[in-house]
Amino acid sequence: TRESGIHPYAHDKINAKYTARFDDPVYYGGGGLVRDLVASYRLDETIGVRIDRSGNKVHLTDNNTVGSVVGKADRAADFTESNSEYLSADNASLGGLSPGSTDFSISFWIYFKSSGFDGQQFVGGVWAPTDNHREWALIYSPNADDDQKLGFYTSENGSDQTVVKTDALSHSTWYHIVILHNKTDGTRTIYQDTVAKGSDDQVTIKQGTANFLLGNVQESSDYFNGYLDEFNMWNKILSSDEIATLYNSGNGKHIR
pLDDT recorded at residue 26: 43
How confident is the model over 47-96, as pLDDT tens digits?
A: 999 999 999 999 999 999 999 999 999 999 999 999 999 999 999 999 99
Mean pLDDT of all residues in 154-162:
95
Q: Which amino acid is at 253?
A: K
Contact between 181 and 187 under an 8 Å Cβ cutoff? The reply is yes
Mean pLDDT of all residues in 25-41:
76
User: Quick check: 15 pLDDT over 50?
Assistant: no
CA-atom Rg of the chain in angstroms? 20
Give the lowest-confidence range in 86-100, 116-130, 193-207, 234-248: 116-130
pLDDT recorded at residue 143: 65
Backbone φ and ψ of 139, nearest 5°: -130, 135
User: Quick check: 116 pLDDT over 70?
Assistant: no
Between 3 and 248, the higher pLDDT residue? 248
Instruction: Provide, rounded to the nearest whole percent, the portion of the chain with pLDDT above 90.
Output: 79
pLDDT recorded at residue 32: 86
32, exposed or middle or buried, with CB in 10 Å at 0-12, 13-18, 19+? middle
User: Quick check: 222 pLDDT over 70?
Assistant: yes
Contact between 42 and 231 under an 8 Å Cβ cutoff? The reply is no
pLDDT recorded at residue 228: 98
